[in-house]
Amino acid sequence: MLRSLRNVCVMLVMVYGLTVMPLAAQDLRPIDVVPATAVLYLEISDPVAVMASVIDHAVMKQITGLDVFRRATETPEFYRAIAARKFFELQMGMEWRAAVEAIGQKGVYFAVDGKTRGNILLVRGRDEQIMQDVRLKLLELTRLGGDQIRKLETYRDIPVYRLEKFGFAVVRDWLVVSNNSEAGKLLLDRLLDLSAADGESLSGVKSFGEASAARSAEPGVWSWVHLENLRALGLAEGLFAERTENPLAELLFGGIQSVLRKAQWVSTELQMTAQGLNLKTSMPFAADWIPESRQWYFGQDAQGRVPAVPEVPETLMTLQAYRGVSEMWLRAGDLFDEQTNDRMAEAESNLGTIFGGRDFGEEVLGAFSPAMQLLVARQDFSEVRPAPAIRLPAFALILTMDDPETMRPELRRTFQSAIGFFNIVGAQQGQPQLEMDIQKSDVMDVITSHYVAQKKDQANPAAPVIYNFSPTAVFFGDQFVLSSSESLARTIAEARRLPLEDAHTAVAVEGTPLRAVLNDNREQLISQNMLQKGQTHDEAEAEFQVILQLMEYLQNAKLRLVPSESQLTLEAAVQLQATGSTEDGSAARGNSDGK
């Protein structure tokens, strides 16, 4: 017990080091100290603010205040952590947060040096006083722990200590930790000599300057990776491979992979704000970096953009993307190895069978323009008969036809062939049959299909999952909607479109409908949990309740990939809401109270 407490403390102290009063007027910045050969640099320049943005966040306070949260965290590990914290507070003689803030007040920095392959951690404390304190505590722990920490040597009158794989030392208000003595010495030299940018530190690296120019002023975590250097050193080769060899990975990231092979750097910024969590990754970009075989990814001159999103009530997820899928399919020979191409050939044969003998790559995929989207929305089951026990959300694929006049009848027949195929397969397996219907109006053609309820299902309030589906195709203008449910297809066709977003790929998830869908399947999910974890109904229900409550704080989450003339940016944002009193939430709680 004492041993593990001590380990925890050593770690804490190590992370937040200590300092003496600044001796010189000139104030060194960490980027003046970190060598120019660094391949990764990460900084938290204002840890106090970052910590406050998390710990004092309204949502965080609510979550930690929840009964369920307290119950869930009352584990032996939790108590061990609490004990470790107490021990730390006792050692430092102050409350843990104040101690941590004091130790890391002027920043925490981490770097990986490509030349020496050494990892470097720099921590700059509030003042010399507290750092002295930390150093003494560290030495005390050394004595307690016998030989675990040992004084290695003295370097230029600075004592250097060693703990298993890394060593550390304190210079004025800086704590230096490194697993590589060469890198460590270099840092100590610079700190001691107050020798700033001499072209050999990060501050003199051009691409570092480019990247930091684009930073925001908000406190957070910022990191920078020197791709050019990584490539030169032959590190992380997987990142710079020419091909993915995996159609799904290619579809998702193919173009980004090409950019990574050319871009000099990539930077990432992470911030916690009152609204939530933001992550932004940027890298240099030029349209002509993309090879011909991957033109389908960003489009001509990287001008490919997502389509407009229809405004559909209770949408829980949307995904819009610009991807020339047909071209990718047809270029598979250039993009993938032989085995993958073989698998795609087999898939093409099967898909050809489903689509009435049409060539999948050319005639099916090729009918659409690359701007596409997938929309998932909660289904309203009040009209669905028989009502399935598992209540899946409905989803729809929304595509734009290149040549609506020609494609409309073609696709209509393709859809009919596919439904026919499902009916043949379904009949062989004793599944219900799909009945088709076509309605044409001036503005749209709707081809619906519905499962004809089998007798045993007609009055079944918990019918098989298949009744979630009423596959429907809608044509209007140049738009083609293929949906798992008729009602969603119609809603989309009639919906107002939201303003166009300047993005190449965008994903959004909405918290409230997502929670509602979970709640729709409450008993199912609880039962699933019982069978998977062997829990009782009460235990499984309590666990479900926790998930539902935590979900209440999620307002939405968004991801966007935006290419501009000179930069490629990936933005992710999670919006949190600090209120627990939405209708669904209270209904859910009412249920559990009434039980």
Partner 1 sequence: MDQQRGVILMENEIDGNWAWSSFVPGAEVPWDLKAAAHLYRRAGFGATREMLENAVSRDVCDVVDELLSGDEPESFRLQMSRLAAAALASGKAEQLSAWWGYRLLSTPAQCLEKTTVFWHGHFATGADKVTDPGLMLTQNELLRLSAFGDFGELVGKISRDPAMLVYLDSATNRKAHPNENFSRELMELFCLGEGRYSEVDIREMARCFTGWEVRRGEFRFNRYQHDTGVKTFLGETGEFGGEEAVRIVLKQQSAPEFVVSKLLRFFVMDELPQRHSDLIEPLAREFRETGLQIRPVLRRILTSRLFYSRYSTGRRIKSPVELAIGLLRCLEGTTNTQELSESLRQLGQGLLYPPSVKGWDGGRTWINSSTLLGRSNLVRRLITNQNTRFGKKSLREYLSDQGLKRPFEMIEAFEKMLFAVPIPVAAKERIESLMRPGTDVSTNEGLHALCTLPEFHLC
Partner 2 sequence: MLSRRRFLGTSALGSAVLTFGGQVPFAFGASAVCTRSERILVVVELQGGNDGLNTVVPADDPVYRRLRPTVAIRKEDVLPIDQGLGFHGALRGFADLLEAGRLAVISGVGYPDPNRSHFESMDIWHTCQRKEEVRTDGWLGRWLEEPSGSSDRDPRALHLGAEKLPLALMSRTVRVPSVRSLEQFRLQGAEDPKFLDAVQALSAAGRDGQDDLLSFVQSSTNSALAASERLVTASNVKTSSIVWPTTQLAKQLQTVSHLIRSDMGTSVYYVSHGGFDTHAQQPDAHRSLLRQLGDSVKALLDELQESGQADRVVVMCFSEFGRRVEQNASDGTDHGTAGPVILAGAGLHQGLVGVMPRLDDLQDGDLKHTVDFREVYSAVINNWFGVPSERILKGQWMPVNVFQTQVKK
Residue 441 binding partner 1, by CB under 8 A:
no
Minimal CA–CA distance to 377: which of 289, 326, 300, 312? 312
Using CB distances below 5 to 8 A depending on partner kind, what does residue 276 bind out of partner 1, partner 2, none? none
The DSSP 8-state label assigned to residue 291 in this structure reads -
Residue 345 binding partner 2, by CB under 8 A:
yes
Using CB distances below 5 to 8 A depending on partner kind, what does residue 466 bind out of partner 2, partner 1, none? partner 1
Radius of gyration (C-alpha) of the chain in whole angstroms: 30
Peptide bond into 386 cis (omega under 30): yes
- By CB under 8 A, which span of 198-206, 409-417, 452-460, 478-486 interacts with partner 1? 452-460
The CA distance from 527 to 523, in Å, is 6
The DSSP 8-state label assigned to residue 201 in this structure reads B
Using CB distances below 5 to 8 A depending on partner kind, what does residue 352 bind out of partner 1, partner 2, none? partner 2
Using CB distances below 5 to 8 A depending on partner kind, what does residue 343 bind out of partner 1, partner 2, none? partner 2
Minimum separation from the CB atom of position 328 to partner 2 (A): 17
Is the Cα torsion angle 345, 347, 349, 355 positive or negative in sign?
A: negative
- By CB under 8 A, which span of 160-168, 272-280, 341-349, 479-487 interacts with partner 2? 341-349
Using CB distances below 5 to 8 A depending on partner kind, what does residue 348 bind out of partner 1, partner 2, none? partner 2
List all residues 6 or more positions away from 418 whose beta carbon is below 8 Å from its beta carbon. 354, 355, 356
Helix (H, G, I), strand (E, B) or coil at 279: strand
Considering only 70, 156, 343, 456, the residue that binds partner 1 (CB under 8 A) is: 456
Q: Between residues 501 and 543, which has the closer beta carbon with respect to partner 1?
A: 543
Q: Between residues 32 and 541, which has the closer beta carbon with respect to partner 1?
A: 541
Minimum separation from the CB atom of position 12 to partner 2 (A): 35
Residue 360 binding partner 2, by CB under 8 A:
yes
Minimum separation from the CB atom of position 430 to partner 2 (A): 12
Residue 358 binding partner 2, by CB under 8 A:
yes
Q: Say if CB 216 and CB 252 are below 8 A apart.
A: no
Phi-psi region of 75 (alpha: psi -120 to 50; beta: other; left: phi over 0): beta
Considering only 64, 129, 350, 536, the residue that binds partner 2 (CB under 8 A) is: 350
List all residues 6 or more positions away from 95 whose beta carbon is below 8 Å from its beta carbon. 89
Per-residue b or e along 196-205, where b marks 16 or more CB atoms closer than 10 Å to that residue's CB:
bbeeebbbeb
- x/- contact string, 503-542, with partner 1 (CB under 8 A)? --------------------xx-xxx-xxxxxx-x-----
Residue 359 binding partner 2, by CB under 8 A:
yes
Restricting to residues 280-339, name those near partner 2 by CB under 8 A: 339
Considering only 119, 264, 454, 569, the residue that binds partner 1 (CB under 8 A) is: 454
Total residues in contact with partner 2, by rule CB under 8 A: 19
Helix (H, G, I), strand (E, B) or coil at 362: helix
**Angle value at C-alpha 401, between 400 and 402, nearest 5 degrees:** 115
Residue 428 binding partner 1, by CB under 8 A:
no
Using CB distances below 5 to 8 A depending on partner kind, what does residue 465 bind out of partner 2, partner 1, none? partner 1
- By CB under 8 A, which span of 103-111, 256-264, 353-361, 456-464 interacts with partner 1? 456-464
Restricting to residues 418-447, name those near partner 2 by CB under 8 A: 428
Using CB distances below 5 to 8 A depending on partner kind, what does residue 388 bind out of partner 2, partner 1, none? partner 1
Residue 404 binding partner 2, by CB under 8 A:
no
Using CB distances below 5 to 8 A depending on partner kind, what does residue 389 bind out of partner 1, partner 2, none? partner 1
Is the Cα torsion angle 186, 191, 193, 195 positive or negative in sign?
A: positive
Considering only 462, 498, 500, 587, the residue that binds partner 1 (CB under 8 A) is: 462
In degrees and rounded to multiples of 5, residue 134 shows phi and psi of: -60, -40
Using CB distances below 5 to 8 A depending on partner kind, what does residue 68 bind out of partner 1, partner 2, none? none
List all residues 6 or more positions away from 580 whose beta carbon is below 8 Å from its beta carbon. 62, 549, 552, 553
Largest CA distance in the chain: 90
The CA distance from 489 to 221, in Å, is 43
Restricting to residues 369-398, name those near partner 1 by CB under 8 A: 388-390
Minimum separation from the CB atom of position 150 to partner 2 (A): 34
Q: Between residues 300 and 339, which has the closer beta carbon with respect to partner 2?
A: 339
Burial of 154 (0-12, 13-18, 19+ CB in 10 A): exposed
Q: How far apart are the first and last CA of the chain?
A: 42
Minimal CA–CA distance to 177: which of 135, 121, 136, 138? 121
Q: Between residues 40 and 390, which has the closer beta carbon with respect to partner 1?
A: 390
Displacement of CA 333 from its chain's centroid (Å): 31
Indicate the angle between helix axes 128-144 and 96-103, nearest 10 degrees: 110
Total residues in contact with partner 1, by rule CB under 8 A: 24
Using CB distances below 5 to 8 A depending on partner kind, what does residue 81 bind out of partner 2, partner 1, none? none
Displacement of CA 124 from its chain's centroid (Å): 30
Helix (H, G, I), strand (E, B) or coil at 260: helix
Residue 455 binding partner 1, by CB under 8 A:
yes
Minimum separation from the CB atom of position 454 to partner 1 (A): 6
Residue 356 binding partner 2, by CB under 8 A:
yes
Residue 210 binding partner 2, by CB under 8 A:
no
Q: Say if CB 112 and CB 34 are below 8 A apart.
A: no
Residue 342 binding partner 2, by CB under 8 A:
yes
- Give the interface with partner 2 as residue ranges (CB under 8 A): 339, 341-343, 345-346, 348-353, 355-360, 428
- Give the interface with partner 1 as residue ranges (CB under 8 A): 388-390, 429-430, 454-456, 462, 464-466, 523-524, 526-528, 530-535, 537
